[in-house]
Amino acid sequence: MSFIEDTITALATPPGFGAISVIRVSGEASIAAVDNIFIGKRKLSVAKSHTVHYGKIFNSDEMIDDVLVTIFKAPNSYTGEDSVEISTHGNPLIAKTILELLTKNNVRLAEPGEFTKRAFLNNRLDLSQAEAVADVISSHTEASLRGARNQLNGLLSLKVDELRSLLLNAASFVELELDFAEEDVEFIGKKDLLARIDNILAEINTLLSTYSFGRILRDGVNVALVGVPNVGKSSLLNYLLKESRAIVSEIPGTTRDIIREEVSIDGFLFKLFDTAGLRFSKDPVELEGINRSREAIQSADIVLFINDVEQDFDQLLYNDVLKLNKKSKIITLLNKIDKGYKGDKKYDLTLSALTGEGIDILLKSLKNSALINSNYSEKTAVVSNLRHYQCLTKCQEDLSKARESTSNNMSGEFISVDLRNAINSLGEIIGEVTSEDVLNNIFTKFCIGK
Amino acid sequence: MKYDVLVIGGGHAGLEAAHAAAVMGCFTALVTMDKHAVGRMSCNPAIGGTAKGHLVREVDALGGIMGKLADKTGIQFRMLNKSKGPAVWSPRCQSDRKLYSEAAFELISSTPNLEIIEDSVIEIIAEGNIIKGVRTSRENEIQCTTLVLSSGTFLNGLMHTGLKSTQGGRFGELPSIGITESLHKLGFESARLKTGTPPRLKKSSIHFDDLEYQPGDQNPQPFSHFTDRSNFPFLDQVPCHITYTDREVHKILEKGFKESPMFTGIIKGTGPRYCPSIEDKIVRFADKERHQLFLEPEGLDSDLIYVNGFSTSLPANIQIEALHKIKGLEDCELVRPGYAVEYDFFPPQQVDLTLETKLINGLYFAGQINGTSGYEEAAAQGLVAGINAAAKVKGLPEFVLKRSEAYIGVLIDDLVVKSTEEPYRMFTSRAEHRLLLRQDNADRRLFLYGNRYGLIPSDSLEKISEDESLINNSINLFNNLKLHARVVNSFLENKGLSEIDSTETISKLCKRPELSIKEVIGLINDKDPMIGTLLQNEKALEQVEIELKYEGYIKRQYEMVERMEKYESAKIPLTLNYHNVKALSTEGREKLNKVKPRSLGQASRISGVTPSDISILLVYLKN
């Protein structure tokens, strides 16, 4: 009695009009279900795996569309089950009709992520790959997709695997001295062991440092727009979005709610938060806006501190921002230079949200700020998943404890406790368990046995 | 006549099984081919060693006999790993081979309820899935309620020296034929393993004066809780000697490779990687200039020397030619060449954690038949099998130790769950809770179980319980009792140690690696009477010191035990048909069906069962 018995379907391409739409069907009944609504040269039930078939989808007598149908047979499909992909013309009505037809043929609509879940349960993906697929599905922009695909191809898995075998080696040296003390083999010195631990620690730290960037790749860069009322924050936002969802008015303090919009710059996702003023107010609605603004500043990766040519630089406000968020990059902007620009060295950038002058420099600056502190290339293993980050952090803690025990001249069995935990923490990322690994390593590397 | 418990084989497993069952009040018989061969050491004349010493301590704490016999007949005692932490200290002794076997016979023949039958078993008899007895070559049939089979390397034993092979389980002793075949008929699967033993040399022909030697400990410690320490050790103590092979020796050995039963494919069984033959070492570690050899005495009156490290199955003439090139052995006489022995074993997925076979009710396997190697591993299994067989007769609960309770628990869990590709030997690194499973606390861990099955006297248990409260109360006291800087600092200064600020608890001071608990206690002025009691009790004091010094690590291990407990206590019904759990990986499903793990924790340790298989099982079991 399996809990994967039924057959599921969903639209595999984004909804809406496009060149084509792809409908995916997976499960034991998938081929039979499509056979019921498809007329081609021959029955799909006799087709081989990984073959493409041209034909027509019918609703009783009514022809719905010309389609291409691809057959994948278990276990050689994405989910590990029998699967069918139907490529239709990219019209949402066609897709909707076909999905409805399928649901009348023993197929139900899939829940979000259910295909990936099945792939995982059928051992088609390891845990980190499954998580990466979930990331691919939810990733918005090109670079994000590249980062997620890297992980899918196992860049992170490879790196973690490499570190794990380094750790196994270190642990083997420690165990060797405990279980084979009477043997005529060289044991590891404290210095050598410390060097090995430090080396792995450094690698773990490097991986951990990619997390903020990995998160940016996946979730986007948080940008808060800050400035006294009426300096043109919303206008700038609108210019960036080329649409006007934020309310722009001449009355100061109208942006009560946080406006959040997403833009893509050269493939990087930016989330722009238009903040209300930070000044005191007795209006409870406005106070709420102020609180939200504070939160937006605190979680921002980049703060755009905006002023206009008609007002003096607000040092107090600037200090407030600094107090709220010490770690993020602050870019100071002078807006409305179309109203007459006198030149001011206080600002990083000058622009006009009305004419668009200087916007290109702002875009470049935003992208550079996102890339800062990362030696990112597409070959780098990037940690973008919180669970991986936590496992690596745990590994880092274990290694630090092992390091401390080693420095304090503790005997090997104490060092081993933390080394083994560290190995397990890494194993959790790629879903591998240890047990025999250390002993096997010892028998391979050292001549043991009197 | 029908015995409650019948034990086949008088080796280290069989002795423990028969003894335990008899002491538990079962009408017991031990069947052996030669009653004067009981407890005979087939390989090296030593008991204990890393992790193996732990097993001996645990066997002793459960009322077994190995520790007592070893104490009685030991001619060199050492605590290995003394420079490391207490968790990996391991007792080991060289034994007088002849005296050990004699002491074993004496003990077993004076045990009430226990009969020794000198005979050879040729068939195991069962009716349906219930054990009935055995057929022997002399008598027709011996009936029993439960049967422990511990036949060592004797099942279809085949010994090899060079290209010559002889049937037998041990030098000069016949093999056991028929048992394997009858078990096949009952549905069991067998496979072949291989092990080896080195040559024995004539002691008087060795030039010991040229060699380094290794004496025993100055202050030797017995294995057994019950050994009288006042006149220990009982026998004269002798050293071992150390010598080395070299390139020239390796070259001579290589000449014999074409007549090696291993390299020519005559031997089909798998040998242990941790105890390779000398020819294996030369091939696998070709860049190693020399290999260390220990010359171990076989006994006080014996003129035999055991060449530890030179296990081989090369032709005898090659053995002697190579030995003559080794320092100290230039003129040595070869009394008995080394040989390899191949034997049948029954892959231990076929037994449960009680060591009862899954196929036949009342039939238990213990020792090398389960694919293990070593006297200590055998003794541990024999004891568990004997207790469980007797418990079944008496209607007592099953005896299963957890991995977090004893090395014995680790041993049997590993056997049942993991596929044995080589003879299984215990290592401390196999125990994930190593810091808790120390040789020094075996009594504290296991007396309760020993007593529950009538193998540990109640007064011994009471004494241990008293110690237990003394230990816990002392730790509580030391966690709260503080010393002032003015009392402590001059002492610390004298020792060149960093001073304390104002006050410090006894516990914290004990954690300093440079300070012993005795030194710290010495600084207390007004001593609680309990401290006086503690100082009188060396064993309890040692426990307090270890628990205080390594508190952080020990606590972390307990936390790990708790985390694992979730999986260990998630029981899987033995009737579960894994073929119905479709989402499992093919390999995982096959392995699970074969092993039939009792718990999710066990399932997770089966090789080939992936973490996703475990999460699927978790989901499935919840449904």
Residues of A in contact with B611 (CB under 8 A): 127, 431-433
Tens digit of pLDDT for each residue in B498-552?
888 889 999 999 999 889 999 999 999 888 899 999 999 999 999 999 999 999 9
For the segment(s) B200-340, the CATH number from 3.20.20.105, 2.40.30.260, 3.20.20.60, 2.60.40.420 is 2.40.30.260
Looking at CA atoms only, how far is residue B426 from chain A in angstroms? 9
Asked whether the beta carbons of A315 and A289 are under 8 A apart, the reply is: no
pLDDT of residue A429: 77
**Residue A218 pLDDT more than 80?**
no
Q: In CATH terms, are B2-155+177-195+343-452 and B569-622 the same topology?
A: no
For chain B, give the mean pLDDT: 93
Distance of alpha carbon A450 from alpha carbon B308, whole angstroms: 6
Interchain pair B274, A175: CB under 8 A:
no
Q: Is A408 left (phi over 0), alpha (psi -120 to 50) or beta?
A: alpha
Say how far residue A166 (Cα) sits from the centre of its chain. 27
pLDDT of residue A278: 67
Residues of A in contact with B407 (CB under 8 A): none
**Residue A68 pLDDT more than 80?**
yes
Confidence of residue B612 (pLDDT cuts 50, 70, 90): low
> Helical H runs in B453-606?
458-480, 485-494, 506-510, 517-522, 529-536, 538-549, 551-568, 586-595, 600-604
- Give the residue range(s) of CATH 1.20.120.430 domains in chain A: 152-214+381-445
**Residue A246 pLDDT more than 70?**
no
Cβ-proximal residues to B332 (8 Å cutoff; 6+ apart), any chain? B201, B202, B205, B206, B320, B323, B324
**Which of A59-68, A378-387, B99-108, B147-156 shows the lowest per-residue confidence on average (mean pLDDT)?**
A378-387
If you measure CA to CA, which chain A residue comes closest to B580? Answer: A1
**Residue B458 pLDDT more than 80?**
yes
> Nearest to residue B19, comparing CAs of B37, B1, B38, B33?
B38
Confidence of residue A245 (pLDDT cuts 50, 70, 90): very low
CA angle at residue B430 from B602 to B377, to 5 degrees? 95
> What ipTM is given for this predicted complex?
0.85
Tens digit of pLDDT for each residue in B288-308?
999 999 999 999 999 999 999
pLDDT of residue A258: 59
Interchain pair A417, B435: CB under 8 A:
yes
Distance of alpha carbon B17 from alpha carbon B4, whole angstroms: 12
Asked whether the beta carbons of A24 and A114 are under 8 A apart, the reply is: no
Which of residues A15 and A63 earns the better pLDDT score?
A63
Confidence of residue A391 (pLDDT cuts 50, 70, 90): confident
If you measure CA to CA, which chain B residue comes closest to A398? Answer: B556
**Residue B324 pLDDT more than 50?**
yes
Distance of alpha carbon A40 from alpha carbon A25, whole angstroms: 18
CATH number of B2-155+177-195+343-452: 3.50.50.60
Say how far residue A349 (Cα) sits from the centre of its chain. 31
Q: What percent of chain A has pLDDT over 70?
A: 74
A–B: how many Cβ contacts below 8 A? Answer: 118
**Residue B108 pLDDT more than 90?**
yes
Confidence of residue A273 (pLDDT cuts 50, 70, 90): confident
pLDDT of residue A192: 94
CATH architecture of B569-622: Orthogonal Bundle (1.10)
CA angle at residue A358 from A355 to A360, to 5 degrees? 105
Tens digit of pLDDT for each residue in B414-429?
999 887 678 999 999 9
Nearest to A411 among B85, B281, B290 (CB): B85
Distance of alpha carbon B327 from alpha carbon A36, whole angstroms: 86
Average pLDDT over residues A212-222: 73
**Residue A410 pLDDT more than 70?**
yes
Confidence of residue A279 (pLDDT cuts 50, 70, 90): low
Interchain pair A438, B429: CB under 8 A:
yes
Looking at CA atoms only, how far is residue B282 from chain A in angstroms? 9
Residue B395 has a CB neighbour count (10 Å cut-off) of 6
If you measure CA to CA, which chain B residue comes closest to A5? Answer: B582
Residue A407 has a CB neighbour count (10 Å cut-off) of 12
**Residue A318 pLDDT more than 80?**
yes
What are the tokens at B84?
């490391």
Average pLDDT over residues B57-86: 96
pLDDT of residue A188: 85
Confidence of residue B361 (pLDDT cuts 50, 70, 90): very high
Confidence of residue B271 (pLDDT cuts 50, 70, 90): confident
Interchain pair B611, A436: CB under 8 A:
no
> Nearest to residue A378, comparing CAs of A152, A130, A138?
A152
- Give the residue range(s) of CATH 3.40.50.300 domains in chain A: 219-371
CATH number of A152-214+381-445: 1.20.120.430
Confidence of residue B9 (pLDDT cuts 50, 70, 90): very high
**Residue A202 pLDDT more than 90?**
yes
Interchain pair A413, B84: CB under 8 A:
yes
**Residue B409 pLDDT more than 80?**
yes
Looking at CA atoms only, how far is residue B606 from chain A in angstroms? 10
Looking at CA atoms only, how far is residue A439 from chain B in angstroms? 8
Residues of B in contact with A180 (CB under 8 A): 50
For the segment(s) A219-371, the CATH number from 3.80.30.20, 3.40.630.30, 3.40.50.300, 3.40.50.720 is 3.40.50.300
Looking at CA atoms only, how far is residue A216 from chain B in angstroms? 29
Tens digit of pLDDT for each residue in B249-262?
999 999 999 999 98
Average pLDDT over residues A46-58: 92
Confidence of residue A377 (pLDDT cuts 50, 70, 90): low
Looking at CA atoms only, how far is residue B310 from chain A in angstroms? 7
**Residue B618 pLDDT more than 90?**
no
Q: What percent of chain B has pLDDT over 90?
A: 77
Which of residues B399 and B588 earns the better pLDDT score?
B399
Looking at CA atoms only, how far is residue B120 from chain A in angstroms? 33
Nearest to B274 among A120, A436, A443 (CB): A443
**Residue A4 pLDDT more than 70?**
no
> Nearest to residue B234, comparing CAs of B91, B69, B109?
B69
**Residue A434 pLDDT more than 60?**
no
Distance of alpha carbon B163 from alpha carbon B260, whole angstroms: 6
Asked whether the beta carbons of A381 and A210 are under 8 A apart, the reply is: yes
Q: Could you tell me which residues of chain A have a Cβ less than 8 Å from any Cβ in chain B?
A: 1-4, 120-123, 126-127, 175, 177-184, 408-414, 416-417, 420, 431-433, 435-436, 438-439, 443, 447-450
What are the tokens at A392?
């690596």
Say how far residue B473 (Cα) sits from the centre of its chain. 33
For chain A, give the mean pLDDT: 79
Nearest to A413 among B85, B580, B582 (CB): B85
Nearest to B623 among A3, A408, A417 (CB): A3
pLDDT of residue B75: 97
pLDDT of residue A253: 47
Which of residues A437 and A308 earns the better pLDDT score?
A308
Asked whether the beta carbons of A137 and A117 are under 8 A apart, the reply is: no
Per mean pLDDT, which of A79-83, A143-147, B224-228, B286-290 is the most reliable? Answer: B224-228
Which of residues A117 and A319 earns the better pLDDT score?
A319
Q: Which helix (H) or strand (E) holds A316?
A: helix A315-324
pLDDT of residue B584: 77
Confidence of residue A158 (pLDDT cuts 50, 70, 90): confident
pLDDT of residue B357: 97
Interchain pair B292, A450: CB under 8 A:
yes
If you measure CA to CA, which chain A residue comes closest to B197? Answer: A450
pLDDT of residue A84: 95
Q: In chain B, where are the structural domains located?
A: 2-155+177-195+343-452, 200-340, 458-554, 569-622
pLDDT of residue B504: 92
Q: What percent of chain A has pLDDT over 90?
A: 21
Q: Hey, what CATH class is B458-554 in? A: mainly alpha
Asked whether the beta carbons of A413 and B87 are under 8 A apart, the reply is: yes
**Residue A426 pLDDT more than 90?**
no
Q: In terms of C-beta density within 10 A (0-12 exposed, 13-18 middle, 19 or more buried), how is residue A346 classed?
A: exposed
**Which of A76-80, B113-117, B147-151, B330-334 shows the lowest per-residue confidence on average (mean pLDDT)?**
A76-80
> Nearest to residue A204, comparing CAs of A372, A387, A373, A394?
A394
Interchain pair B274, A3: CB under 8 A:
no
* Structural fold of domain A7-124: Gyrase A; domain 2 (3.30.1360)
pLDDT of residue A249: 39
> Helical H runs in B333-441?
375-394, 407-417
Interchain pair A182, B284: CB under 8 A:
no
Distance of alpha carbon A289 from alpha carbon A258, whole angstroms: 7
Looking at CA atoms only, how far is residue B447 from chain A in angstroms? 25
Tens digit of pLDDT for each residue in B179-194?
999 999 999 999 999 9
pLDDT of residue A144: 54
> Helical H runs in B268-403?
278-284, 316-323, 375-394
pLDDT of residue A431: 61
